[in-house]
Structure 1
Amino acid sequence: MEIEEAREVRTTCPYCGVGCGVLAKVAADGQVSVRGDPDHPANFGRLCSKGSALAETIDLDGRLLHPEIHDRRAGWDEALDLVASTFSQTIAEHGPDAIAFYVSGQLLTEDYYVANKLMKGFVGSANIDTNSRLCMASSVAGHRRAFGSDTVPGTYDDLEFADLIVLVGSNLAWCHPVLYQRIAAAREKRPEMKVVLVDPRRTMTADIADMHLAIAPDGDVALFTGLLAYLGQHNALDRAYITTHTTGFGQALFAASALDLVGVAAATGLSEDELGRFYSLFAATSKTVTVYSQGVNQSSSGTDKVNAIINCHLATGRIGKPGAGPFSVTGQPNAMGGREVGGMANMLAAHMEIENPDHRDRVQRFWNAPAVAGKPGLKAVEMFKAVADGHIKALWIMATNPVDSMPDADAVEAAIKACPFVVVSDVLARTDTVRHAHVRLPAAAWGEKDGTVTNSERRVSRQRAFLRVPGDALPDWRIVAEVGKRMGFGEAFSYASPAEVFAEHAALSGFENDGARDFDIGAYAGVDGEGYEALEPFQWPEGGAQAGGWPEGVGTTGLQARFFANGNFFTPDRKARFIAIRPTTEIRTSPDYPLILNTGRIRDHWHTMTRTGKSPRLSQHIAEPFVEIHPADAQRFGIGDADIARVSSPRGDVLVRALVTARQRQGSLFAPMHWTDQFSAKGRLDTLTAPLTDPISGQPALKHVAVRIEKFAAKAFGFAVARQRPEPNTAPYWAVAKCKGGWRVELAFADDDIDWAGFAGSLFGTSLGAEISAYHDRDAGQHRIAAFDDDQLSGALFVAPSPVAVSRGWAAEQLSADHVDRRSRLAIVAGRPGGIDVDRGAIVCSCFGVGANQIAEAVRRGCGSVAAIGAALNAGTNCGSCRAEIRVIIDAQSLQAAE
């Protein structure tokens, strides 16, 4: 890692779509630290646990630093010439649609823009799609159906102005913690604010909710069409707004009335009383914001869910006003930027439509392109099917890991392996996708590259470099531009800097934009390098159409940040469109697959852990793949807490740790999607999911998967810590996680007749001179082996016939000890601290390393609130992501004390 001169740089976080500002400080000795930017309007200095740990993820361990061709190192000229010539030859022999780009919401806008321009304008195909298809494509489709444009109406300020916030399919406390903390702070100031959570699980977000509606999977359409019918029946409509600013209300209301309250209750799994209380609260509260995320989008009816929500806001005129509106919260840092540049297969650049010949003509003239794609391309699921079928001959994957994140992941992996030519641009040398590439291109990482990103409230921010680019790595925009040049399009891709790309992107947004298009940042068309470097965060639109005056009532007004304040939209008649939606019920379970699996994220990891998996701090909270199961289901299927469970679907199976919890809805399971072959034996969750998509958006249904569960018949369980990364490939179940000083690993074995000393030696990679301390009780199936080199712990293995009961966090801490004395060696073999050492328990607060045991003890000593725990232990006082879990521990301890 090469460091620029000591300074503090304003940049943005590379994780979720909140778009938090970050101050990255590089000290004279090369140490990097990060903190929240107090002046950034997205977060005002707040960071979540992941953002706070960014400095732990920027080392060069595992980096791809040089181009590779067929596993050998190559130079840039050779690699780029091969990519360009193969693409050109493929086009000549099979046509432009034989090529595809699969890109990412983690690309910067400038990267996205150049890739989209090359594919749609110069290759002449729209076969460029993004992993954002898995994230928010249904929101895009719903916005376009209702508003005539992909427009997010509101701002984060609305979360503070609202009197009612409805959270739908969003575990905001874990997935967008900074917004969660913003709501929590607003409630402290205004206790009368109400929060309703609509989620099958009782997530940590439920801690803030006045009402939790534990809805049945995919019951959202019925819930919100039922709400629309209720609003009509109870005279809670804004009829003047409906008449003046919308069309299609009568048909939408008629369709919504197909179910009465009894029918809605049956479809949602909620009681009539719960529905009545929610509906009456919504009807009575004019300042209502409905925040929704993947629980809405990742569904075969995702677009209808989005429009069912929007219908309710249009019917009450609650849109474009402070504290009122539907609000899609995106999952990736630049999913919005990708939408702006047209990085999806069914969109043109600058929010123009690929099906519109006038839009195609405009883009072609602006780019001076030979042929703009004339029809939508293949969406993500379709794209990989086309790869499997042999229709796509050359595939370029950028900054994403589809072998782990796409539905039916084993089939996707097989398709990529069989594709004649695969290029992958990535920062890591080995991921489950990179290993199948014929050409590997080293990309610059966060902290090394310059560009812009757009967050969920349409705010454009600069992401700035503060590290020198290592090895031969290059930013993605430049890699793509170099390929474009070599394909014969030199003049169109002769960019010298990301500032030039941004200026062109801004100019296109304002080109012939008379206010009929929402996206306009034309005011920045003339930005130069100095202006680009100094660019402050801003919300669009900010451009020629706005500066010259929007047509009356269109878009925003003056400096107001909300769209549709005047009730006019981007449809031909300037009216919003109600969408008539009839709720349907789809039964996907069967006697063979009787449970519904809901997939999602956890607090401290993100996507496929290529970044968060580097951080010891972020790997402490949850260190292995798991499945949550309701106690009644656990009893039905013979699953005990901490057992290893096999979860199967018709497409494959995974092995994960079982967590029995009443927070999970009966009949449903939950498991996170983060684990890959790099971190687990059999934890790739998307091997289970089906390539079933929303018919409008093409977004896959990743939260409604029919599965079965059974206990894995483990005869021995293990836990180990090791200085070097362990390779426990002989164990049918293993999961590794980074810790300070080394690695920790969970294990399970189908056989207990194993040479444990030999297994430990291979796990630790111990030297011949290592000192071994061991304890064996073969009759009880207990084995404990520790190896020491130069008075330091090299590794320790604990084996038992049931899940190993040792102090995991404490054992892992011993790897970083400079000297291990005899007493400590005995404690390590025992697996628990002795003397005055403290067993912190499972880590709850990642920021300060505070464990559950410490919190429980503080409660027993009289700390009865989250604030008191913070004062005593610092837990929950930095990012705040753990406060809900702290409250759960307080409640549990209080309940024990009462008993």
Structure 2
Amino acid sequence: MPVETKTTCPYCGVGCGVIARVEETGAVSVRGDPDHPANFGRLCSKGSALAETIDLDGRLLTPHISGAPASWDAALDLVATTFADTIRQHGPDSVAFYVSGQLLTEDYYVANKLMKGFIGSANIDTNSRLCMSSSVAGHRRAFGSDTVPGTYADIELADLVVLTGSNLAWCHPVIYQRLATAKAARPQMKVVVIDPRRTATSDIADLHLSILPDGDTALFGGLLADLATRGMLDRAFVDDHTQGFDAALSHVADLGIADVAESTGLDAADIEAFYALFAASERVVTCYSQGVNQSSSGSDKVNAIINCHLATGRIGRPGMGPFSLTGQPNAMGGREVGGLANMLAAHMAIERAEDRDTVQRFWQSPVIADKQGLKAVDLFRAVADGRVKAIWIMATNPVVSMPEADLVRAALVSCPFVVVSDVMAETDTTAHAHVLLPSLGWGEKHGTVTNSERRISRQRAFLSAPGEAKADWWQMAEVARRMGFDTAFDFAGPAAVFAEHAALSAFENEGNRDFDIGAHADITVDTYDALAPFQWPQPAGTAPNAADSRFFADGRFYHPDGRARFVPVIPARDQRTTAAHPFALNTGRIRDQWHTMTRTGKTARLTAHFAEPFVEIHPDDAKALGLTPADLVVLESPQGRAVLRALVTPRQKPGHLFAPMHWNDQFASAARIDALVPGLVDPVSGQPASKHVAVAAAKLDVGLYGFAISVEKPEISKSSSHPLAYHALARAAGGWRMEFAAAPLPLGEEGGVQDRDWTGWSVETLGIPPGLEPLGYRDAVTGHIRLAFFDGERLLGAVFLSPRPVAVARNWAIAQLGAVHSDLRRRFAVVAGRPGAEAVDPGATVCSCFNVGINQIVTAAAGGCCTVEAIGKALNAGTNCGSCRAEIREILNGTRIAAAE
């Protein structure tokens, strides 16, 4: 009989419930859990494709020492001995952990306990430093605790939802759908989107404010001043429950509309419209994410937002409040256990002596870290300069995701001892590990995660552990035991870890700390297995979800005097661009990929929308650089270089660029975008400024553009006879796809790039059997080359070359890898790269959930489907996660314009 397991999606901070179904054959399918209160059955494109990412291809299945397979005992003994020896010789601050929001709370808890309570250093930081630490700093400054006040329901109840620095439609699609549904039910609801780009989220906006990078502090500082001028302050709330209002207002009191317009690049009329909306709407929720946090002034941006909510008393009640949307599935859980270098477990403060004493007594630990550890950027700089001599990296890929990514790589190369725990054998980071430890992946491990609205949910295993893979918490506990800390890490399983975590949250907590899940301190294995999603707090003696889950409804905050703090902020924008680096680069995520693609890159469905790294550039800038659509662009900063495909679009402001952060060296030749990002950080939070990077841009000199498809994975290293200036690989149905460009010929070399032996290159690179003759042609006039290799009726691979970006029906061509080619006409169609009259080219993928292409949408529009809803009925496009609805609407608008012309 099939077995179904309720678990939680491992991607973004929405925390969607998932039902995994395993058939008797072992086949796995996933669907949304209709009973989970985060998503009520909805899933985005990434969640819908989860079953396609759980194969063992590329998995790390056994420990390795210096590249050779080893036993767990040998690997763990080496880790424990080396860390202990390093600490004995150089002190506890000579070692470090770099962990991840991909870990489960139980993993995070054990790592934090080992480093801070038994090693005695706070040199444990997390990749959540890169996405949410400015929110943590802003919360702690304003509230006295890292508390997210509201719930997802508040977004649905609000009269005005402000989305700032958040491409909600692509980065938190299920919350976007909840918002879109609420707006459809209450058309009077207003949505304001504040973003330099016109993103898919702008589709729902009543007002889009195309703000300059780092203009948020001025915008919300001006809003505070405007609210005061309008007499819209809640004086009773300010007087009874806050402190510092006059100082905060004095910093922005003279900030008029003209000043805000100058600092933000916005039209005065749009600023006035936003301020009027905010003032007139009692129920306001301000959602913010990476566009606010990833800034050298991110903490001040957060507090500028919170100041406006405190000043109007719009906090702690239904449909109102500031709302930080976490990026990773367990960024919040990591914060709960003190995963950041400047925090202690259970939301206690490392700088507070009484908190250190509380934690040390609970853990009965020999030491306790008594000062903040190194935050992510400084941590890897310390690895580079030798202060940190041993580092353990868990469930993350910093050689791709960290700013100064090339420095991070060089640091790991020079580090005496690098341990990496991961599910994948080959990443940009595992390449530099002295010890590799195989971890359990999603679907194989048990534990909990906490989403953006403080809801704790279970991840449950429904697959057997592959090979010798082990849980991350187990790996750390075993190392701790080998270091002599047996009793403190004698956990029987994840339920025991969670119980200790819950007990610490309640220990000597008389309501003076926000995080309290003491009701679960005595949880058993059975009750842990059956644990239903619940929101904290849940102190001992209370039932889950029994009370209003919003914080601050009573006006009590967590500073010693119970009052919230207004934080004075000074609106300021750095001028980072220069004559040498005149473009402002914004980095971020795209709809169908996750972090560094180690999982989402495994499925063809998710690579179909964007199969290669790209940079969005305004048409005016493209023209000035001599770029046409699909040309290749070189981006350079003082830190590094990247080569990306040009996506020419008016969504960008002139002088501004956008590039996604996902691509790595496994999938592209030079697309680690964080190699361009400097280590500039917020002085309070230590969060890097990844949204405002000064770069130069230029057209890449290309000898020949190419597109290839193949059953076997292309091996670029084998194509040394024809050097490539660029390549990008992606999974495709039935095999692989590759975009590439050949380098121009060296000066003095006769002939042209097209004269090279591309048949031999195809055999070397695409894994074509030697001696197999291609069907194809070479056009001396146009410079086009077409080669297709058939083994009987089966297409093994095809190569398309052109002096300009290759015009091929890519999705149709990819589908030919799985087709039968007994008819010679079909073979010639493959060579041409376009279907015959009897076949259909779906065009570039728009809807990944249902694999619907642009040509199918245009055809449906021509047949009378004139609305997004009609397209959904005809093709299913846009009816699952809804992230493509804006793109569908744009296509429909384009067909109307074309028809009118």
Q: TM-score interval w.r.t. the shorter chain?
A: over 0.9
| CA drift at 1:821 | 2.9
1:168-567 to 2 correspondences below 5 Å: 168-544=164-540, 559-567=547-555
* Matched position secondary structure for 1:862: coil
Tell me the distance in 1 between the aligned counterparts of 2:231 and 2:546: 34
For 1:886, the equivalent position in structure 2 comes to: 888
| CA drift at 1:258 | 3.8
Counterpart contact for 2:759–2:774, Cα < 8 Å: no
* Matched position secondary structure for 2:152: coil
* Matched position secondary structure for 2:859: helix
Select between 877-886 and 116-125 the one with higher mean Cα deviation.
Answer: 877-886
Tell me the distance in 2 between the aligned counterparts of 1:686 and 1:390: 23
| CA drift at 1:818 | 4.3
For 1:616, the equivalent position in structure 2 comes to: 604
Tell me the distance in 2 between the aligned counterparts of 1:865 and 1:102: 48
Tell me the distance in 1 between the aligned counterparts of 2:671 and 2:573: 30
| CA drift at 1:770 | 2.9
* Matched position secondary structure for 2:774: strand
The residue type paired with residue 148 of structure 1 is G
> Could you say if the C-alpha distance between residues 818 and 481 of structure 1 is closer, same or farther in structure 2, counting changes exceeding 3 Å?
farther
Q: Are 2:151 and 1:155 equivalent residues in the alignment?
A: yes
For 2:748, the equivalent position in structure 1 comes to: none
Tell me the distance in 2 between the aligned counterparts of 1:570 and 1:821: 75
| CA drift at 1:543 | 1.2
Tell me the distance in 2 between the aligned counterparts of 1:410 and 1:497: 38
The residue type paired with residue 748 of structure 1 is A
Counterpart contact for 1:649–1:706, Cα < 8 Å: yes
Tell me the distance in 1 between the aligned counterparts of 2:214 and 2:783: 46
The residue type paired with residue 804 of structure 1 is V
1:24-63 to 2 correspondences below 5 Å: 24-63=20-59
| CA drift at 1:558 | 6.3
The residue type paired with residue 621 of structure 2 is D
| CA drift at 1:490 | 0.5
Counterpart contact for 2:534–2:545, Cα < 8 Å: no
For 1:574, the equivalent position in structure 2 comes to: 562
Tell me the distance in 2 between the aligned counterparts of 1:819 and 1:492: 64
| CA drift at 1:771 | 4.4
For 1:735, the equivalent position in structure 2 comes to: 728
Tell me the distance in 2 between the aligned counterparts of 1:651 and 1:218: 21
* Matched position secondary structure for 1:466: coil
* Matched position secondary structure for 1:592: coil
The residue type paired with residue 650 of structure 1 is P
| CA drift at 1:780 | 2.0
Tell me the distance in 2 between the aligned counterparts of 1:373 and 1:544: 28
Tell me the distance in 1 between the aligned counterparts of 2:176 and 2:731: 28
* Matched position secondary structure for 1:106: coil
Counterpart contact for 1:774–1:783, Cα < 8 Å: yes
Counterpart contact for 1:734–1:745, Cα < 8 Å: yes
1:514-556 CA-partner distances (Å, limit 9, x unpaired): 0010000000000000000000000000013868xxxxxxxx9
Partner residue of 2:645 out of 657, 679, 691: 657
Counterpart contact for 2:821–2:827, Cα < 8 Å: no
Tell me the distance in 1 between the aligned counterparts of 2:689 and 2:284: 28
Select between 784-793 and 514-523 the one with higher mean Cα deviation.
Answer: 784-793
1:270-291 CA-partner distances (Å, limit 9, x unpaired): 1111110000110000100000
| CA drift at 1:779 | 3.4
The residue type paired with residue 670 of structure 1 is F
Counterpart contact for 1:811–1:831, Cα < 8 Å: yes
Tell me the distance in 2 between the aligned counterparts of 1:650 and 1:800: 33
Tell me the distance in 2 between the aligned counterparts of 1:679 and 1:768: 26
- The count of corresponding residues between Structure 1 and Structure 2 is 887
Q: Are 2:634 and 1:632 equivalent residues in the alignment?
A: no
Counterpart contact for 1:513–1:544, Cα < 8 Å: no
Tell me the distance in 1 between the aligned counterparts of 2:772 and 2:28: 35
| CA drift at 1:778 | 2.7
Counterpart contact for 1:771–1:789, Cα < 8 Å: no
* Matched position secondary structure for 2:850: coil
Q: Are 2:588 and 1:600 equivalent residues in the alignment?
A: yes
For 2:739, the equivalent position in structure 1 comes to: 746
For 1:71, the equivalent position in structure 2 comes to: 67
1:419-448 CA-partner distances (Å, limit 9, x unpaired): 000000000000000010000000000000
For 1:706, the equivalent position in structure 2 comes to: 694
* Matched position secondary structure for 2:643: strand
* Matched position secondary structure for 2:591: coil
Partner residue of 2:797 out of 775, 778, 795: 795
Tell me the distance in 2 between the aligned counterparts of 1:821 and 1:22: 44
Tell me the distance in 1 between the aligned counterparts of 2:27 and 2:823: 31
Tell me the distance in 2 between the aligned counterparts of 1:329 and 1:630: 29
Tell me the distance in 1 between the aligned counterparts of 2:823 and 2:900: 43
Q: Are 2:861 and 1:859 equivalent residues in the alignment?
A: yes
| CA drift at 1:472 | 0.4
* Matched position secondary structure for 1:350: helix
For 2:720, the equivalent position in structure 1 comes to: none
* Matched position secondary structure for 2:457: strand
The residue type paired with residue 30 of structure 1 is G
* Matched position secondary structure for 2:323: strand
Q: Percent identity?
A: 64
| CA drift at 1:790 | 3.2
Counterpart contact for 1:870–1:877, Cα < 8 Å: yes
The residue type paired with residue 299 of structure 2 is T
The residue type paired with residue 574 of structure 2 is E
Tell me the distance in 2 between the aligned counterparts of 1:406 and 1:322: 38
For 1:107, the equivalent position in structure 2 comes to: 103
The residue type paired with residue 663 of structure 1 is R
Counterpart contact for 1:112–1:477, Cα < 8 Å: yes
* Matched position secondary structure for 1:597: strand
The residue type paired with residue 856 of structure 2 is Q
Counterpart contact for 1:220–1:268, Cα < 8 Å: yes
For 1:553, the equivalent position in structure 2 comes to: none
| CA drift at 1:701 | 0.2
The residue type paired with residue 682 of structure 2 is D
1:639-678 to 2 correspondences below 5 Å: 639-678=627-666
Partner residue of 1:138 out of 119, 134, 141: 134
| CA drift at 1:820 | 4.7
1:361-417 CA-partner distances (Å, limit 9, x unpaired): 111111110001010100000100000010000000000000000001001100011
For 1:870, the equivalent position in structure 2 comes to: 872
* Matched position secondary structure for 1:804: coil
> Could you say if the C-alpha distance between residues 820 and 274 of structure 1 is closer, same or farther in structure 2, counting changes exceeding 3 Å?
farther
Select between 98-107 and 582-591 the one with higher mean Cα deviation.
Answer: 582-591
What RMSD, in angstroms, separates the aligned Cα atoms of the two structures?
A: 1.1
Counterpart contact for 2:133–2:686, Cα < 8 Å: yes
For 1:835, the equivalent position in structure 2 comes to: 837
Structure 2 residues not aligned, in runs of 5+ = 718-722, 745-752
For 1:715, the equivalent position in structure 2 comes to: 703
| CA drift at 1:749 | 1.7
| CA drift at 1:819 | 4.4
* Matched position secondary structure for 1:617: helix
Tell me the distance in 2 between the aligned counterparts of 1:519 and 1:201: 36
Tell me the distance in 1 between the aligned counterparts of 2:494 and 2:286: 36
> Could you say if the C-alpha distance between residues 820 and 137 of structure 1 is closer, same or farther in structure 2, counting changes exceeding 3 Å?
farther
Partner residue of 1:767 out of 762, 769, 772: 769
1:687-717 CA-partner distances (Å, limit 9, x unpaired): 1000000000000000000001000011210
* Matched position secondary structure for 1:18: coil
Structure 1 residues not aligned, in runs of 5+ = 548-555
TM-score by length of 2: 0.98
* Matched position secondary structure for 2:839: coil
